[in-house]
Amino acid sequence: MSTQSRAGGLDIARLRSEFPALHQSVHGKPLVYLDNAATTHKPRSVIDATVRFYEQDNANVHRGLHALSARATQAYEMARDKVRGFINAADASECIFTSGVTDSLNLAAYTLGAGLKRGDRIVLSHMEHHSNIVPWQIVAGRVGAEVVPLPVTDRGELDLARAGEVIDERTKVVSCVFVSNTLGTINDVHRVCTLARAAGAVSVIDAAQAAAHLSIDVRAIGCDFLALTGHKMYGPTGIGVLYGRRALLDRLPPFRGGGEMIDQCTFAGTTFAPPPARFEAGTPNIAGAIGLGVAIDFLASQDRATWAEHEHELLVRATGALERVDGLRVVGRATHKIATVSFVLEWAHPYDVAPILDHAGVAVRTGHHCTQPLMDRLGLKATIRASMAAYNTAEEVDTLVAALHKARRMLAG
């Protein structure tokens, strides 16, 4: 395996050495992990930080006057401030810890939905993950609002030239994915937020797939809300963030009730704490938040520009090599993409090919990727998705392609 990338001398071997899970065999073959859009692996620093919390600082936050609780609280709130810096929020109080992007989007939908009424419109892109469709549908069903899609072109890009057809004076929320988990398309979320603001609507951005690959600046994007998840950006599972502009958060009702989120509680009634506590009822995922903070430290210690160049090299190599496989069609030809490639095969169903790739040590994702409306728009039932991260190599791309050639020989007859 090459130890250097053409991308400015990125030392792949050194980078990979920080990820213990990459150094294993599957079915007797070296693991080729190309399912990073589902979850990334974790560097040793993140793993060690979560273990250290449980070994040394395990205590609840904000509630104890003893040393362990003080240390846990300090680490937890330091992690929140790291998130603030990572997305360039104005204040750490704008960063609410959740269990992940799904939880973040449910929080946004539930609280914003409290202000919706019959006839209001919620606009979503046609390439949304189910987690950014279903919560809005539930809210719309309760109040009589409607959910309408922002169109997607045959190339797998948002058709923003037609945005005026759906974003109108009835629109109260516009929610859009930053990067498509299925196609890798990078959307112009700044323009989406500008269109939402011009219509007097609130903007919500799903940045689950963006955080590991792109710089995120909520003030430059101009969004009102933005959702992140730790496990897709080299952090732990079960931890995420909802960013919200403080002026909006102050006006929103709680999402859940319980401990820590109250100001005063009596049987006559309850008043609620200011954000972020208002939206963090109960004991949080303290170790997860600390691990997320360390993942942000890890990302900050890297040359992200070199990473991006390397990932683009992988995308170009993978796309070109896959197109030379007989009977294979790449799905999604957006001009701006992260290193994610979806494809279909005329000679086999994706579910028949995935086990062959697995036996070659290659981990990919098959199915509709929780984007059934997008699949319907493209006339597909399922694709195979290879999603790459900075720790992947050109040789791993070649292993995927070789395994596909083998699968074709086995299945095409």
What are 308's two structure tokens? 């991006």
What are 52's two structure tokens? 């250290």
Residue 21 and residue 24: Cα distance in Å, rounded?
7
Q: Kindly name the residue from 176, 193, 265, 370 that is annotated as catalytic.
A: 370
What are 89's two structure tokens? 């929020």
223 is catalytic: no
Residue 135 and residue 299: Cα distance in Å, rounded?
31
- Burial of 148-187, coded b for 16+ CB within 10 Å and e otherwise, reads bbbbbbeebbbebeebeebbeebbbbbbbbbbbbbbbbbb
Q: Are strands 202-206 and 383-387 parallel, antiparallel or unpaired?
A: unpaired
Residue 320 and residue 318: Cα distance in Å, rounded?
6
CA atoms within 13 A on the CB side of 180: 34
CA atoms within 13 A on the CB side of 104: 28
Residue of 394, 370, 269, 381 lying closest to 321 (CA atoms) = 394
- Phi first, then psi, for residue 320 (nearest 5°) are -65, -45
What are 348's two structure tokens? 């086999």
- Burial of 365-376, coded b for 16+ CB within 10 Å and e otherwise, reads bbbbbbbebbbe
Number of H helices, E strands in the chain: 13, 17
Residue 39 and residue 118: Cα distance in Å, rounded?
38
What are 208's two structure tokens? 């689950």
Residue 110 and residue 108: Cα distance in Å, rounded?
6
Give the ranges where 187-285 is alpha helix by DSSP (H): 189-198, 218-221, 246-249
Beta strands in 112-261 (DSSP E): 121-125, 146-150, 171-177, 202-206, 225-229, 240-244
Known catalytic residues are 370
